[in-house]
Amino acid sequence: MHSDPGWAAATQQFQQALGDGWSKAMQAISKAGTASANGHSIPHLSFSPDKLAALQQAYLKEAAELWNHGLAGVASGDKRFASPDWGSNPVAAFSAATYLLNGRTLLGLVEATDTDPKTKARLRFAVEQWMAASAPSNFLALNAEAQRKAIETRGESIAKGIQNLLNDLQQGYVSMTDESQFEVGRNVATTEGAVVFENELMQLIEYKPSTAKVYERPYLVVPPCINKFYILDLQPENSLVKYLVDQGHRTFVVSWRNPDQTLQDKGWDDYVGEGPVEAIRVVREIAGSKQINALGFCVGGTLLGTALAVLAARGEKPVASATFLTTLLDFTETGVLDLFIDEHFVQYRELQMGQRGLLKGQELASTFSFLRPNDLVWNYVVGNYLKGETPPAFDLLYWNSDSTNLPGPMYAWYLRNTYLENNLTKPGKVTVCGEKIDLGKLDMPVYVYGSREDHIVPIGSAYASVNHLPGKKRFVMGASGHIAGVINPPAKKKRSYWTNDKLPDVHADWLAGATEHPGSWWSDWSGWLKPLAGKQVPAPKRYGKGTAYQPIEPAPGRYVKAKA
């Protein structure tokens, strides 16, 4: 601690300035509480006096300590400031420590507000976005690690960073991986197969059997239409598609088309009717099977559930079992995405593209990236531009960058009837493909999977599906997030999963009685699926069937290769 009178006076002056700044901030927030923008009324914010006083006192105390010990380095577990360069540079250390203090205080201020939970969550999200964007690590003038590299390379890292920035500006997004190292059909999406059917919205791929015999009931996979299907077929060692094939299932996968202007008037009905409903029909005809087994992943699961409800309303039961992976059927709790979606937002999108138009793939991809801004945005800004690095080759991030468009009418219907009004859970509320649908008519056996750390489909919401499906059900929870939890092949011997044969109303009660198992949930799923797959029959020698379903082109087909 400094004992010099001049230093003490400076500290006192600094504290006074902080106090004045705090008062002005409170006045600004108070004034903002009565303002409005873009038709949204900003709620008046009030604060608990006791919490506010404690927060202010803690801030002033920590700020004074920081000022007195400004050369002590950064005491933080934050990986952005983990390099020794931050601790050895007094200016960088002070800026990082001040930033972290301000961030903690702003989050504390959010928690001190007396407002409803959704408004508080929106405030928290806004503060987190501001914190991620304003970190000193994002600026060359403050990033000690980037400065050292610039000196060591005699400015070459800066020159490379500028070139990286120009390249990314040209392509319209921040590079997350070295995309030159990947090509769809060459080293991703390589499981052997052929396109055996196509329409305006999708191609249907049949995969070549790898076993002498296959189960008589074919298996249909419906991936999300907001991404490319090959997340399920990245590499042979982590391909869910190849795993199904190697387990003896005659496997078919829907490959959604990347919509252009010619498809800008397509709606949810079109995606259901021309997607899973049509795919189920074609797979049954090709295999000569009365029933098939089917899987839906994410939005693909929502589409599959809707399609099965349409078919049930028509008195048809073509699916012997259904698997839903990280799928929302009940949109009561939708996690962080719920912060963006309200009546104002949905009305805006309906006016903008409810009749025709396209939601650009990059807009959707950016939205998901900013749900984890430090990991999926600013980490690459720093690496690519400040340090002049080329991001490493990573197949998962290549897929993540390979975005796809959505037709405006489909997107607008989806927002209103799922996220906003949760209509799929209300029997007869919505009409799809001419039928009033009811999830309660889906009485086939179902396997429902949710990921514990999923920020897109919260685990409680994935579990909620079991309350709307009346048949025999199994729910399994896997470790990790939305993608990593799903793509977890047994050979890796990674992570774990949880099971519980009892299905209480809420996930927390289910988890309290669940048993943890090491390894991949794929093995559990395969064991569940086997008795539902029928007897084994000789594997087909050719793709398709007769003259009606001739191979059109080799897998993965051309639809998946179209760029947004």
Distance between CA 96 and CA 74 in Å, rounded?
7
Burial 268-278, CB ≥16 within 10 A → b, else e: bbbbbbbbbbb
In sequence order, the 6+-apart residues with CB closer than 8 A to the CB of 400 are 176, 365
Distance between CA 455 and CA 460 in Å, rounded?
11
User: Pick from 553, 542, 539: which is nearest to 197 by CA?
Assistant: 553
User: Pick from 383, 379, 384, 380: which is nearest to 163 by CA?
Assistant: 384
Cα distances (angstroms) measured from residue 342 to each of 119, 126, 201, 346, 430? 12, 16, 29, 6, 19
Q: Identify whether 556 is preceded by a cis peptide bond (ω within 30 of 0).
A: yes
Hey, how many other C-beta atoms are within 10 angstroms of the C-beta on 128?
A: 18
Helices (H), ranges, 320-360: 343-353
Catalytic option among 106, 298, 364, 457 = 298
Crossing angle of helices 5-32/49-68, nearest 10°? 140
Does 433 qualify as catalytic in the annotation?
no
User: Pick from 538, 562, 560, 548: which is nearest to 196 by CA?
Assistant: 548
Burial 176-213, CB ≥16 within 10 A → b, else e: bbeeeebebeeebbbbebbbbbbeebbbbbbbbbeeee
Pairing, β 219-222 against β 251-256:
parallel
| Token representation of residue 338 | 């719920």
Pairing, β 193-198 against β 202-207:
antiparallel
| Residue 22 C-alpha from the chain's centroid | 37
Distance between CA 424 and CA 272 in Å, rounded?
13
| Token representation of residue 1 | 């601690």
Beta-bridge partners for 448: 324, 475
Give yes or no for a contact between 231 and 261, defined as CB atoms under 8 angstroms apart.
no
Hey, how many other C-beta atoms are within 10 angstroms of the C-beta on 476?
A: 19
Residue type (1 letter), 514: A
CA angle in degrees (0–180, nearest 5) for 441-341-446: 25
DSSP state of 252: E
Hey, how many other C-beta atoms are within 10 angstroms of the C-beta on 539?
A: 14
Helix and strand counts by DSSP (H, E) for the chain: 20, 19
User: Pick from 394, 332, 404: which is nearest to 368 by CA?
Assistant: 404
Q: Catalytic positions, please?
A: 298
